[in-house]
Amino acid sequence: MNTPINPKSNRMPVGSVQCDNTTLNLLKANDFVAKAIRERLPDMLVINVCSSPGSGKTSLMQETGRRLRDKINMAVLVGDPETDRDAIRMKEVGINALQIVTGGMCHIEAQMILQALDHIDLTGVDLLFIENVGNLVCPAAFDLGEDIRVTLLAATEGDDKPKKYPRMFLTSELMVISKSDLLPYVPFSVEAVTKDAREVNPTIEVISISSLKGDGMDEWCEWLVTKVNEKKTSQVAI
Tell me the number of residues near another protein by CB under 8 A: 40
Q: Please say which residue, 19 or 237, places its beta carbon nearer to another protein.
A: 19
- Whole-number Å distance between alpha carbons of 107 and 132: 7
Touching another protein, residues 116-145 (CB under 8 A): 137-138, 140-141
- Amino acid in the structure at residue 129: F
- Whole-number Å distance between alpha carbons of 204 and 197: 7
- Whole-number Å distance between alpha carbons of 99 and 103: 12
* Cβ atoms of residues 142 and 26 within 8 Å: no
- Amino acid in the structure at residue 52: S
Is residue 1 within the footprint of another protein (CB under 8 A)? no
Q: Stretches 48-56, 149-157, 198-206, 217-225: which one binds another protein (CB under 8 A)?
A: 198-206
Residue 170, CA distances (Å) to 122, 173, 221 in order: 30, 8, 23
SS3 state at 213: coil
Q: Stretches 72-80, 159-167, 211-219, 227-235: which one binds another protein (CB under 8 A)?
A: 159-167
Residue 74, CA distances (Å) to 38, 108, 159 in order: 17, 20, 31
Closest separation in Å from C-beta 9 to another protein: 6
Q: Mark residues 10-49: x for contact with another protein by CB under 8 A, - for none.
A: xxxxxxxxxxxxxxxxxxxx--------------------
Is residue 5 within the footprint of another protein (CB under 8 A)? yes
**Residue choice 166, 173, 186, 190 for contact with another protein (CB under 8 A):** 166
To 10 degrees, what angle do helices 57-68 and 217-237 make? Answer: 70
Is residue 163 within the footprint of another protein (CB under 8 A)? yes
Q: Please say which residue, 1 or 24, places its beta carbon nearer to another protein.
A: 24
Is residue 192 within the footprint of another protein (CB under 8 A)? no
| Residue ranges in contact with another protein by CB under 8 A | 4-29, 137-138, 140-141, 163, 166-167, 170, 198-203
